[in-house]
Structures are given as C-alpha cells and as structure tokens.
C-alpha cells in the first residue's frame, strides 16, 4: 500500500536528476460522534459551539419513518429545544427551497442547523447555512470554489443512509431551476462541525437501499484507493471502510435490526467519505454521474453497475494496487493463498460475487440491461457525458470516447 508513496522516482531529464517525490493534502475537521446513544450528544455539542436554538432540516420520508422523533427525543432533559423543523426537502433540491428554508430559519430566530437525511437534505442544509450565515438572498452569488471566506453557523449532520459520505465532504450541488443549471459550491466552511452516527437512524433502511448505499460507499473507498489522488492517510480510511462493508453488508441483510452491524456500515460510509473527499474518485463516478443524469437512476445503483468493469479497465495499469484490495474484500486467508500476480483479478471477482449476492437477495441490477431503464442507443451519449465529468481526470488510465464506449458495452 505504501509503495507508491515511499518510492522516490529518480528521473533523469536532460541529464538532471529530478528526484520527484509524491505530494498530497489531507483535511477533515469534522468531529465524528458515533455509536450507541450518539444522538443524545447533540445538545452538549451545540452548547460547545455557543448554539441553543437549532433548526432540523429533513424530508417527508425520514420524518414519516419516525427518525426525526429519535433526534427530538435526544433533546429531552437537555434544557434545549429544537426551535423549528422543515421536513419537505425534495429529492432534487433547488435554490428556491433553500431560500424558503433560510427565511424560516431567520423568522424563527434559529442559531444552528441539524440536517437529518441523505444527500439531498445534506446539500440543501449546506445551502441554507450559506444564506443564513452570509445574510444573503441569492445563493448563486456564493457558487464556485473558495467564494466563502468565513466560518458558517454551527452545522450538524445526522445521516439516515450509509452511503453518500456527504457528512464529511466540502461540496454541495443545488439546482437553480429558473436558470436550468446546477450550482456547485466548494469550501472548507461547508464541512459540518459534527457528523452524528447513531445506529437507530439506519435500522429501518430497506434491504435494497441498504445494499445500494453500501455499494456507493464501497465505490468511494475503492476509487479513493485506486485513483491518482490516493495518499497514505486516505488509504487507511479506504481500507477500513472496505473491510467494514465486506464484513457487515450481508450480515445486515440477514439481520436488518443488528444495530452493531448497522453502525459498522454507517462508519464505513463516513470513512469512505473522508477518503474520497481527500483523494477524489475516477471513471466509475464519471460514468455513474452521466447515467444518473441521463436515465435518473440512483447514484448507488450506478456505482454498483460500473465498479468491476472500470476496475478491469484500470487493471493493467493499477494491478498491484487493485490486488491489495483483496485483503479487505476477502480476508487474510484468501489474500495469503492468492499469488501476488493474481490478486487484482481475484479482488474484482470478489466484487462480482458481492454483486451477485445482492442481486439474488434484493434484485440490485448488475448490468445496464438489468436496470430496464437504459437503451443501447443511449450508450454513445453516456460516453460523451462521462468525458466531461471532472472525476475522469483522476482516473489512473486515460479515457477517450472509444474507451468509455467499450466500458459501457461491457457493462451492458
């Protein structure tokens, strides 16, 4: 694992020994509050940040499942109340929704935000935090890289799926419906102050969503480990995340109310999020983002579809690194028994076996044709879109239009 970083490449360049060394950055200031009764830590953590009037932002599904009640219950006997709840965040949030929530926040005199939900709720909450902290009305003014220049209001995230890792990422994407564009926001100030991982919040997640989101986290970790931005610290998070998912996903599907295994998946998702937000992702995400945009398939499903095919595409260039994944994926015995030169292929086969098992248990599609939502004449367009996705630049192997089409054909 460390070979890539400890190696000093001695390149001669017009007779000059350039001695290039690897370089990386790693940053994650999010406090992780995880485990049994984690929710009950929220009031104390808010007080630590001089906040006492939190607003909860969530969606109808999360509230209907009773998950917000767990958070509200955590405020009992705390001397602090949740001042406002907004529970109508749509699956594809917009600047209009953000603006409405920001008004509610101000009208109610809130001083902090607790996002309870998945990717859309978390991104929406990040947008709300920008407006209420900057005292702005037009969210588009703050779009871009590094536009924010000061810390925002106290912001906690309580994930209700174990997959996106948004609780530890510094980005948000929110649609401006009027202008028909998606606004990206990137700033260290968007990182939450704390991520609260409580097994109660994912205990009732249906099997197919559990599987899909776990494969999302698995892909975050695997791409963080195999793509160009990998570094020793994100590698450590990625390997731990892969180990936890490999050991606990099927366990959770067998016993959905196994709180310990649920917590392991939640932690894996956060660890994978920390890994990929520091190392970025590659071609699986380029193809997945395109498929999600064109055919409106869930992100986790897209990741599950493309993962083994992209690893096969990268195998020749990254065989040794992909081979190291066999240890967290299949365990020490299998790793030790597999010759070094065969580990890369064996790791990919293990991922295929996991996907087969998920298909058998909850019909999670493994190919584009199994989704029933993609037509073959869309493949050319998908390939074109993938080339324009930012993550493709971090893929270790160059990808041109023919290459992208070839991977899509294999995934068909």
Residues interacting with other proteins, by CB under 8 A? 11, 13, 18, 20, 23-25, 144-146, 184, 227-229, 280, 387-390, 392-394, 396-398, 400
Nearer to other proteins, 54 or 273 (CB): 273
All residues at 6 or more sequence positions from 113 whose CB lies less than 8 Å from its CB, including other chains: 54, 55, 57, 105, 125, 128, 129, 132, 153, 154, 155, 156
The residue (of 125 and 395) whose beta carbon lies closer to other proteins is: 395
User: With respect to other proteins, which residue has the nearer C-beta, 73 or 184?
Assistant: 184
- Nearest-CA neighbor of 161 among 112, 113, 122? 122
- 71/154 Cα distance (integer angstroms): 17
End-to-end CA distance of the chain: 32
Q: Least distance (Å) from other proteins to the CB of residue 45?
A: 30
Nearest distance from C-beta of residue 146 to other proteins, angstroms: 8
What is the distance between the alpha carbons of residues 135 and 128, in angstroms, rounded to a whole number?
10
Nearer to other proteins, 245 or 322 (CB): 322
State the minimum distance, in angstroms, from the CB of residue 222 to other proteins.
16
HSE, side-chain direction, 13 A CA sphere, residue 165: 31
Backbone conformation region of residue 2, classed left if phi is above 0, alpha if psi is from -120 to 50, else beta: alpha
Q: Contact at 8 Å (CB) between 191 and 151?
A: no
CB of 175 or CB of 246, closer to other proteins: 175
Our CB check for other proteins shows the closer of 20 and 48 to be 20
Q: Nearest approach, Cβ of 402 to other proteins (angstroms)? A: 10
Q: At closest approach, how far in Å is the CB of 394 from other proteins?
A: 6
Nearer of residues 72 and 173 to other proteins, judged by Cβ:
173
The sign of the torsion formed by the CA atoms of 103, 109, 114, 117 equals negative
For β-strands 12-13 and 16-17, DSSP reports them as: antiparallel
Minimal distance, residue 336 CB to other proteins, in Å = 32
**Residue 345: Cβ-neighbour burial (10 angstroms; 0-12, 13-18, 19+):** middle
To the nearest whole angstrom, how small is the minimum distance from the Cβ of residue 404 to other proteins? Answer: 12
- Asked if 237 contacts 275 with a C-beta cutoff of 8 angstroms, the reply is yes
**Cα 259 to Cα 166, 264, 280, distances in angstroms:** 22, 9, 30
Angle (deg, nearest 10), helices 259-279 and 207-226: 40
Beta strands in 225-363 (DSSP E): none
Whole-number minimum distance, CB 118 to other proteins, in Å? 23
- Given a contact cutoff of 8 angstroms between Cβ atoms, the answer to whether 205 and 217 are in contact is no
Q: How many CB atoms lie within 10 A of CB 203?
A: 17
Which CB atom, from 257 or from 388, has the smaller least distance to other proteins? 388
Q: What secondary structure letter does DSSP report for 203?
A: T
- In the bound state with other proteins, the residue whose beta carbon lies nearer, of 2 and 23, is 23
Residue 400 beta carbon to other proteins: minimum distance, rounded to whole angstroms: 8
Region of 331 please: left (phi>0), alpha (psi -120 to 50) or beta.
left
When the beta carbons of 85 and 227 are compared against other proteins, the nearer one is 227
Least distance CB 183 / other proteins (angstroms): 11
């Amino acid at each position: 694992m460390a070979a890539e970083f400890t190696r000093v490449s001695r390149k001669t360049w017009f007779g000059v020994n350039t001695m290039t060394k690897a370089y990386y950055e790693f940053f994650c200031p999010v406090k992780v509050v995880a485990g049994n009764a984690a929710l009950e830590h929220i009031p104390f953590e808010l007080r630590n940040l001089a906040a006492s009037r939190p607003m909860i932002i969530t969606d109808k599904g999360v509230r209907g499942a009773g998950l917000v009640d767990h958070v509200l219950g955590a405020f009992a006997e705390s001397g602090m109340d949740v001042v406002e709840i907004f529970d109508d965040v749509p699956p594809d949030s917009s600047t209009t929704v953000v603006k409405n929530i920001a008004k509610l926040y101000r009208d109610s005199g809130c001083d902090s935000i607790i996002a309870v939900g998945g990717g859309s709720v978390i991104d929406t909450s990040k947008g709300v935090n920008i407006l209420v902290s900057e005292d702005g009305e037009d969210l588009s003014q703050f779009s871009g890289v590094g536009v924010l220049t000061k810390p925002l209001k106290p912001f906690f995230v309580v994930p209700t799926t174990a997959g996106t890792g948004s609780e530890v990422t510094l980005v948000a994407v929110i649609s401006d419906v009027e202008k028909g564009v998606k606004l990206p926001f990137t700033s260290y100030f968007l990182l939450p102050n704390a991520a609260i991982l409580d097994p109660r919040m994912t205990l009732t997640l249906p099997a197919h969503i559990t599987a899909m989101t776990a494969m999302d986290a698995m892909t975050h970790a695997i791409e963080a480990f195999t793509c160009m931005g990998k570094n020793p610290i994100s590698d450590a998070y990625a390997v731990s995340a892969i180990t936890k998912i490999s050991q606990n996903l099927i366990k959770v599907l067998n016993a959905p109310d196994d709180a310990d295994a649920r917590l392991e998946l939640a932690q894996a998702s956060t660890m994978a999020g920390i890994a990929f937000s520091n190392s970025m992702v590659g071609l699986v995400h380029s193809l997945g983002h395109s498929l999600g945009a064109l055919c409106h398939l869930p992100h986790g499903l897209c990741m599950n579809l493309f993962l083994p095919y992209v690893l096969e595409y990268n195998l020749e260039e990254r065989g040794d690194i992909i081979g190291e994944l066999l240890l967290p994926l299949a365990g020490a015995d299998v790793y030790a028994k597999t010759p070094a030169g065969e580990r890369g292929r064996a790791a990919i086969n293990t991922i295929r076996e996991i996907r087969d098992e998920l298909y058998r248990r909850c019909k999670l599609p493994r190919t584009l044709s199994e989704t029933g939502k993609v037509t073959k004449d869309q493949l050319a367009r998908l390939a074109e879109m993938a080339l324009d996705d930012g993550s493709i630049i971090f893929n270790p192997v160059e990808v041109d239009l023919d290459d992208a089409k070839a991977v899509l054909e294999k995934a068909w």
